[in-house]
Amino acid sequence: MQDDMSGREVLRFAPSPNGWLHLGHAYSALFAFDMARRLGGRLLLRIEDIDIGRCREEYLEGIYEDLAWLGIEWETPVRRQSEHFTDYEAALRKLRSMGLVYPCFATRKEINDAILASGIPLQAWPSDPDGAPLYPGICKNMPKARLNELMWEGRSYAWRLDMEKAVREAVRINGGPITFHEDGESPRGDTGLISIEPELFGDVVIARKDVPTSYHLAVTVDDALQGVTLVTRGQDLFSATYIHRILQVLLGLPAPRYHHHGLIRDDTGRRLSKSAKDMGLKELRAEGITPADIRRMVRLD
Ligand code: GLU
């Protein structure tokens, strides 16, 4: 593990190159940059491009261009997740050896059908904090023979975390309930020491057959590998921290502090055209908007 021997805070901005950066990204990137400056810390840029099908080289170039235009400076070399699948695979192997993950062959349709078959209407079925219906457990206790059969057939599958078991094991390793330190605010306004509630996600997918990782696993491994001490990101990822914390405990990784910031709301672009919020930074730049205007628009001036 790379430790920052200088004792300086290590922050990161971690965009996914699957589209052009917009005002929300600008706010998040400037927030991390300003915070790193204020703390006398380091700012890393990490490219989260595990979704090879959706990520494009031109978006990556766009990220570099937009960030430089905003006046943001970051350290090099930049870590690209697509170049580090073996790191995530190793973490997955560890979770497998702990007996905490299982393969799930169910398609989205099969999951929906299983929910419908339960007699509970889809709208009444519990959903996770991201709004996805909780996994009904259809592949959970699959007999080994059937499991081998499906694997031999070459069917694609996802690795799911057995959440109940994982929580039990993590609490045992941690010697008590798991928390994290929130320097910012949850969407409900909680701050300080936060108790995690990963059960809200049910048996979450943490890797796939074809891509041996997920956002959750890759982000957890990388924050530790890169020695990140303070994670700044939007409040939309607040609940995801529950999953990251449990993975950190299970994988024996250190816990950074977290600062979840508010999201850019619709009224931000009031002084511009109505669609300013949805316009890419590239387009805003072409309209003659300056980095100082962007700071004003996201209220960071
Ligand atoms: N790659 C994620 C995104 O673009 C951010 C991940 C994070 O900050 O943890 O939304």
**Among 252, 255, 250, 253, residue whose Cα is nearest residue 171:** 250
pLDDT in tens, 215-230: 999 999 999 999 999 9
Q: What's the rounded Cα separation, in Å, for the pair 25 and 154?
A: 39
pTM (predicted TM-score): 0.93
Is 219 near ligand 1, meaning CB less than 6 Å away? yes
Would you place residue 2 in the very low, low, confident or very high pLDDT band (cuts 50, 70, 90)? very low
| Pocket mutation for ligand 1, best pick of 237, 242, 257, 259 (most atoms within 8 Å of C-beta) | 237
237 lines ligand 1 (CB under 6 A): yes
Atom of ligand 1 nearest to the CA of 234: 8
CA of 233 to the centre of ligand 1 (A): 7
- Ligand 1 midpoint to CA 155 (Å): 29
Please tell me the distance between residue 15's alpha carbon and the centre of ligand 1 in angstroms: 5
Max alpha carbon distance in the chain (Å)?
Answer: 64
225 lines ligand 1 (CB under 6 A): no
Q: Where is mean pLDDT largest: 3-7, 61-65, 135-139, 262-266?
A: 61-65
Residue 85, exposed/middle/buried by CB under 10 A (0-12, 13-18, 19+)? middle
Phi-psi domain of 186 (left: phi exceeds 0; alpha: psi -120 through 50; beta: other): beta
CATH code for the part of the protein at 85-263: 3.40.50.620
Residues of the chain with CATH 3.40.50.620: 1-83+268-301, 85-263
SS3 195: strand
3 state DSSP class of 26? helix
> What is the CATH class of 1-83+268-301?
alpha beta
> What is the whole-number distance in angstroms between the Cα of residue 119 and the centre of ligand 1?
36
- Token readout for 163 is 């959440």
CA of 2 to the centre of ligand 1 (A): 21
The pLDDT confidence band at residue 197, using thresholds 50, 70 and 90, is very high
Residue nearest to atom 10 of ligand 1 (CA): 15
**Tens-digit pLDDT profile for residues 28-85:** 999 999 999 999 999 999 999 999 899 999 999 999 999 999 999 999 999 999 999 9
The SS3 call for residue 51 is coil
Cα–Cα distances (Å) from 26 to 238, 279, 297, in that order, read: 19, 12, 10
Which H or E run includes 241? helix 240-251
Q: What is the pLDDT of residues 230-270, one digit of tens each?
A: 999 999 999 999 999 999 999 999 999 999 999 886 554 44
